[in-house]
């Protein structure tokens, strides 16, 4: 954290000044360790305890297959994120959702480190902790998932894409500062890895023009770095697809995504089921995933970053990236799943941290007291969300559907017995019930009925009628899941 020039200045400084600098360095180091230690707990502690989502199994399986030369699974999404998952699984010698989660958590933690190194050049070592800490510590939950489904702790592709976008942004900014071409090339590589982790990264392209197209690169001269950066990104992306056959895999992905976008995806937003999400859907998920306190912090911080003088190009670069992502989900993508707002949060949350830093740095005499007070309040609100998360991760346990199997086993339900599950997404429940799982009420006989709370899937009338006709059945409540164990394999016919 100390440059050679700083060391020389310290050697020439009076003893008292050197002592003050040492104390300041100690304070900075202590806060940095505290923030990243809290981030390590939030990202990594009890990583295997959270419920398994169906997509996690899909990506873990695809990554394992890719590293063994089979490129058939999950080609509807790009490959790089699954390569990383596969490498981690290969290192431990078996397919594992927990190991896959370790990849996404590590990428998110590393992204926060990159943000601190990036912002240190702009704001100094101490204040750079704010945007990095926001990125690492503010709650980013799946609002439609189980308690403490922090997106970065799940084996999903979005956090990997976000980490590469952070790397691409930090390196393009370093090129902007130094005009050293190595940073431009590294940025292109990182962006190529981002778009081959998940396709929405492409939406950020216009934001990079904010940095590349600056006064020092007027007219045709701006085209040179832009073309180099773009060419490196394309080559990187093409190379990532090479083992799978680029034309075949990319063609399949484009056809699949086009069809899926036209067909839609049932999603519950604000209590209503949409096949095609409204334009504000991803913002609704973002507000509910962050929670009220963190949403206030992020919105106020972004406003401050744009309004308070200083570092305007940096602020508008990240704001442009945020707007590009919002615009993609509002105008182009016709669906919005609960965790998609991670594609916006990677730029919006550090931008909010920059806003808080700029409030502390405001030098206008009449406004300084108000600015510092507001920044302090925002930091305090952010700290509350961190304490809540630390408590949640320490007490994390399996939830709902993850607790069903022991109940079934204790009641004598075997692997050959069918279990009917209703008001539930099969992709969420298949990691736990597997071959026992059945969603068709007519496909009995059943040994148990499991009811969840996913209102995209209405309660079948046969189930409602059967339960009403058999009030003697005992309901076992497991968080948001209710289990009825039937005395014998039973067809759902009223009166039996």
Q: Do residues 226 and 91 both lie within one domain?
A: yes
Q: Do residues 375 and 432 both lie within one domain?
A: no
pTM exceeding 0.85:
yes
Q: Do residues 201 and 219 both lie within one domain?
A: yes
Q: Do residues 470 and 346 both lie within one domain?
A: no
Whole-Å CA distances, 430 to 56, 202, 283, 459? 11, 32, 29, 19
pLDDT score, position 12:
60
| Host domain of residue 390 | 15-394
**Does a structural domain hold residue 6?**
no
- Integer Cα distance of 171 and 309 in angstroms: 24
Whole-Å CA distances, 200 to 9, 197, 327, 340? 47, 9, 11, 10
Q: Do residues 364 and 417 both lie within one domain?
A: no
Domain count, the chain: 2
pLDDT score, position 285:
93
Closest C-alpha to 483, from 431, 416, 434, 424: 424
Per DSSP, 328 falls in state I
Within its chain, how far is the Cα of 363 from the centroid? 36
Burial of 11 (0-12, 13-18, 19+ CB in 10 A): exposed
Q: Do residues 427 and 301 both lie within one domain?
A: no
Whole-Å CA distances, 145 to 311, 384, 410? 37, 22, 27
pLDDT score, position 129:
97
**Does a structural domain hold residue 1?**
no
**Does a structural domain hold residue 119?**
yes
Within its chain, how far is the Cα of 21 from the centroid? 38
Q: Do residues 334 and 464 both lie within one domain?
A: no
Closest C-alpha to 116, from 412, 353, 397, 419: 353
Q: Do residues 362 and 430 both lie within one domain?
A: no
Q: Do residues 197 and 117 both lie within one domain?
A: yes
Q: 141 forms bridges with which residues in the sheet?
A: 150
**Does a structural domain hold residue 354?**
yes
**Does a structural domain hold residue 8?**
no
Of all helices (H) and strands (E), which one includes residue 475?
strand 475-478
Task: Please identify, among 394, 420, 445, the residue that sits at the C-terminal boundary of a domain.
Answer: 394
**Does a structural domain hold residue 2?**
no
Q: Do residues 364 and 446 both lie within one domain?
A: no
Task: Please identify, among 350, 367, 394, the residue that sits at the C-terminal boundary of a domain.
Answer: 394
pLDDT score, position 199:
94
**Does a structural domain hold residue 120?**
yes
Q: Do residues 278 and 386 both lie within one domain?
A: yes
Closest C-alpha to 393, from 403, 401, 385: 385
Q: What is the pLDDT along the chain (496 residues), one digit of tens a residue?
A: 445 455 455 556 677 777 788 888 899 999 999 999 999 999 999 999 888 988 999 999 999 999 999 999 999 999 999 999 999 999 999 999 999 999 999 999 999 999 999 999 999 999 999 999 999 999 998 877 666 688 999 999 999 999 999 999 999 999 999 989 999 999 999 999 999 999 999 999 999 988 888 755 556 677 888 899 999 999 999 999 999 999 999 999 999 999 988 888 888 888 888 888 899 999 999 999 999 999 999 999 999 999 999 999 999 999 999 999 999 999 998 888 888 999 999 999 999 999 999 999 998 777 888 999 999 999 999 999 999 999 988 888 888 888 998 999 899 888 788 899 999 887 777 788 777 788 888 887 999 999 998 888 888 988 999 999 899 999 999 998 999 999 998 888 654 4
Calculated CA dihedral for residues 400, 403, 404, 410, nearest 10 degrees = -150
- Integer Cα distance of 422 and 442 in angstroms: 12
In sequence order, what E strands does 177-323 have?
267-269, 272-274
Task: Please identify, among 372, 394, 416, the residue that sits at the C-terminal boundary of a domain.
Answer: 394
Angle between helices 97-123 and 54-66 (to 10 degrees): 90
Q: Do residues 72 and 201 both lie within one domain?
A: yes
**Does a structural domain hold residue 147?**
yes
């Amino acid at each position: 954290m100390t440059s050679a020039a700083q060391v020389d200045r310290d050697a020439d400084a009076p003893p008292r000044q050197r002592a003050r600098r040492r104390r300041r360095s100690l304070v900075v180091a202590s806060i940095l360790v505290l923030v990243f230690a809290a981030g390590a707990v939030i990202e990594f502690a009890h990583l295997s305890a959270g419920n398994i989502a169906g997509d996690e199994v899909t990506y873990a399986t695809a990554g394992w297959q890719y590293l063994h030369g089979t490129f058939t699974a999950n080609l509807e999404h790009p490959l790089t994120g699954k390569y990383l998952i596969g490498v981690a699984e290969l290192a431990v010698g078996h397919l594992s959702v927990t190991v896959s989660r370790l990849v996404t958590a590590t990428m998110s933690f590393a992204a926060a480190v990159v943000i601190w190194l990036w912002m240190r050049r702009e704001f100094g070592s101490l204040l750079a902790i704010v945007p990095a800490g926001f990125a690492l510590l503010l709650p980013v939950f799946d609002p439609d998932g189980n308690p403490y489904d922090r997106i970065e702790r799940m084996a999903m592709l979005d956090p990997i894409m976000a980490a590469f976008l952070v790397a691409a942004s930090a390196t393009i900014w370093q090129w902007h500062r130094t005009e050293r071409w190595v940073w431009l090339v590294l940025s292109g590589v990182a962006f190529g890895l981002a778009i081959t982790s998940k396709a929405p990264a492409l939406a950020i392209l216009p934001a990079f023009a904010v940095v590349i197209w600056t006064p020092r690169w007027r007219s045709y001269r701006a085209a040179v770095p832009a073309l180099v950066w773009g060419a490196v990104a394309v080559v990187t992306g093409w190379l990532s697809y090479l083992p799978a056959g680029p034309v075949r895999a990319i063609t399949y992905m484009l056809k699949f995504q086009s069809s899926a976008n036209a067909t839609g995806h049932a999603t519950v937003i604000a209590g209503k089921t949409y096949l095609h999400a409204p334009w504000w859907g991803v913002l609704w998920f973002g507000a509910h995933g962050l929670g009220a306190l963190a949403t206030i912090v992020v919105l106020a911080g972004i406003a401050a970053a744009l309004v308070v003088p200083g570092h305007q190009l940096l602020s508008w670069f990240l704001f442009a990236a945020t707007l590009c992502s919002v615009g993609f989900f509002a105008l182009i993508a016709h669906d919005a799943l609960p965790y998609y707002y991670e594609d916006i949060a990677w730029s919006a949350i550090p931008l909010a941290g920059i806003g808080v830093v700029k409030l502390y740095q405001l030098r206008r005499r009449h406004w300084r007291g108000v600015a510092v007070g507001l920044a302090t309040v925002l930091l305090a609100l952010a700290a509350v969300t961190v304490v809540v998360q630390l408590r949640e991760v320490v007490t994390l346990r399996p939830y709902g559907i993850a607790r069903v199997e022991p109940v079934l086993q204790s009641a004598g339900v075997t692997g050959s017995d069918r279990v009917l599950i209703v008001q539930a997404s099969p992709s969420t429940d298949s990691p736990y019930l597997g071959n026992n799982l059945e969603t068709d009420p007519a496909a009995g006989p059943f040994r148990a009925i499991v009811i969840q709370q996913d209102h995209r899937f209405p309660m079948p009338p046969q189930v409602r009628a059967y339960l009403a006709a058999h009030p003697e059945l005992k309901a076992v409540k497991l968080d948001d899941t209710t289990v009825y164990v039937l005395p014998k394999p039973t067809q759902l016919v009223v009166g039996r």
